[in-house]
A and B are shown apart, each in its own frame.
Chain A
Amino acid sequence: MSSDPYGDRGNTAPSAAHGGATPAAADEPFLIGQGMTGGYGNGPDILHDCTIAVEKGEIAVIVGPNGAGKSTAMKAVFGMLDLRAGHVRLAGEDITALSPQDRVAKGMGFVPQTNNIFTSMTVEENLEMGAFIRNDDFSGTMEQIYDLFPILRDKRRQLAGELSGGQRQQVAVGRALMTQPKLLMLDEPTAGVSPIVMDELFDRIIEVARTGIPILMVEQNARQALEIADKGYVLVQGANAYTGTGKELLADEEVRKSFLGG
């Protein structure tokens, strides 16, 4: 993992040719990163022809061994690194050339793995900053988030940096939800929290998904993640190794042996 959690934000004009504006097929997934190849800066390619897709109303999970390029794949979808080949389409629109900020405006919510909250600001201010690009009244959205994460309502005046790991993650997810995204991307939301908190976080994520927001998630805890996943992607060395529904992958002998510990 690079020391800069968000990697290359430059996202200069994509060097890869993505043959004009291809009209999207009617049955195309809501978000798809297709045939993505690329790496950080001028470094070597980390992703090799990797495809990740999320359907409306689904939870998609990217799992795989350490260094498989899980987070990189997600960052590629979010525009944090240059693609040398492949493209990303959101609701049929080609967004390969957009910067991460522009993708947020297009309705993508992203929760980075680390440094994902403003520690010196209160919980409420964190949520307000999440809604910075909105010019309308966002108090309704804030209420929804407090309903989703009741603990945050109790701690709204407290500094986010004083909260526990699990509560911080809830602030981070809440912040991303303030833009009312059409899609939520979570980079290892359960990294570094206790198993009990992890279960609670997964419950919350399912609740978010139930509100109709499709979720793309990178997870270290492959088994638990696949249990709640509609779609699972197993990456190995930056390429798709196995793809299927969560249940299929959990049942797959090969996947279990290699990644789930038997």
Chain B
Amino acid sequence: MDFLNAIVALSNYVLIPGIAYGSQLALGALGVTLVYGILRFSNFAHGDTMAFGAMITVLVTWWLQSLGVSLGPLPTALLALPFGILGCVLLLLATDRVVYRFYREKKAKPVILVIVSMGVMFIMNGIVRLIIGPDDQRFLDGERFLISARDFKEMTGLSEGLAIKSTQVITLITAIIVVALLFWFLNRTRAGKSMRAYSDNEDLALLSGVNPERVVMLTWVIVAALATVAGVLYGLDKSFKPFTYFQLLLPIFASAIVGGLGNPLGAIAGGFVIAFSEVTITYAWKKVLGYLMPDSLAPDGLVQLLSTDYKFAVSFVILLIVLLFKPTGLFKGQSV
């Protein structure tokens, strides 16, 4: 019984939140890795791109809610998601037209583009705060739990409860669908293959007749969709606050680099590596260990390796370790 309780507690506090968080990071990292692979710079504006897409979705969600539209047990935000993606696509295409294209034509070095993307980041950040404000916004509706802790306890008779939030399930399912669509696109369609070819060997792709402007445009559209989905899922699961998206930049970059920049599969793996590291290191293990160990050995303290306030340090440390020992990331990516 104690063993089962330990497993339930572990699932409740580590596995399930880790999977949801990992999916969100993976979607974010996919966007970063695509920009790096095709436009060849680290896009620091990605976190705020996520915030912008999520903001549009939040606004449309409120509007739909005011009209009385709802998806029943599912959050209305899912209905608003396509609008958010559309808004984000327009923003990124406009940014590319006004800012990035200028530097692309000048064949600016990646390091210049990185700084440019920081400027874009501050502007996007400002736009989002101007429109929706810097505060926490709630836009989640529908059923909150798939299984609540109390129901679970009654069902199983265990003393530990297992709560599965509907947003966690939605996150996982959406992430799987989006990733499957992305990989189908990249590996099976002509346009997707031309994107991979351009990322692999720009000169040869040009020689083969691939139109670089088309590839760049496609990339921004896909990145906008990925960023919006990631931003909305994170907002649903936690809450929507512009500043948190800026903070998410670090774990997202860590995920992309740990997996291997430019490698989509790596971005997904990296997302889960970072998410699980963060969750396991900041989790207080007292409860789980208490169930597993004989009473005499039960730990006195919380057995928390790091306070949650320092969770960003985890991404940093993993990033450092990977860069020291395997600069190209776990999967074969480009070295930074």
Contact = CB atoms under 8 A, between A and B. Distances in A.
A125 B192 CA distance: 11
B201 A132 contact: no
Contacts of A175: 208
A104 interface: yes
Contact of B204 (A4, A112, A125, A133): A112
B281 interface: no
Contact of B206 (A101, A119, A121): A101
Interface secondary structure of B, over-half rule: helix
B193 interface: yes
A110 B210 CA distance: 15
B185 to A, nearest CB: 14
B207 interface: yes
Given A129-B193, A129-B197, A9 B206 contact: yes
Q: Which size class do A's interface residues fall under?
A: 20 to 34
A175 B204 CA distance: 10
A172 to B, nearest CB: 9
A6 interface: yes
Contact of A120 (B200, B208, B209, B210): B200
Contacts of B204: 112, 115-118, 129
Interface in A70-126: 100-101, 104-105, 110, 112, 115-121, 125
A212 interface: no
Contact of B193 (A110, A116, A125): A125
A130 interface: yes
B200 A110 contact: no
Give the interface size bracket for B toward A.
Answer: 10 to 19
Contacts of B190: 128, 132
A105 B208 CA distance: 9
Given A101-B209, A132-B209, A132-B210, A120 B203 contact: no
Contacts of B209: 101, 104-105, 132-133
A115 B203 CA distance: 9
Interface string A201-216: 0000000000000000
B201 to A, nearest CB: 5
A175 B200 CA distance: 15
Nearest to A5: B203
Nearest to B210: A132
Contacts of B196: 118, 120-121, 125
A9 B207 CA distance: 10
A125 B203 CA distance: 17
B194 interface: yes
Interface string A119-160: 111000100111011000000000000000000000000000
B205 interface: yes
Interface in B53-87: none
Interface of A: 4-6, 9, 100-101, 104-105, 110, 112, 115-121, 125, 128-130, 132-133, 175
Interface of B: 190, 193-194, 196-197, 199-201, 203-210
23 contacts: A4-B203, A5-B203, A6-B203, A9-B203, A9-B206, A101-B207, A101-B209, A105-B209, A110-B207, A117-B201, A117-B204, A118-B201, A118-B204, A120-B199, A121-B193, A121-B196, A121-B197, A125-B193, A129-B193, A129-B208, A132-B194, A132-B208, A132-B210
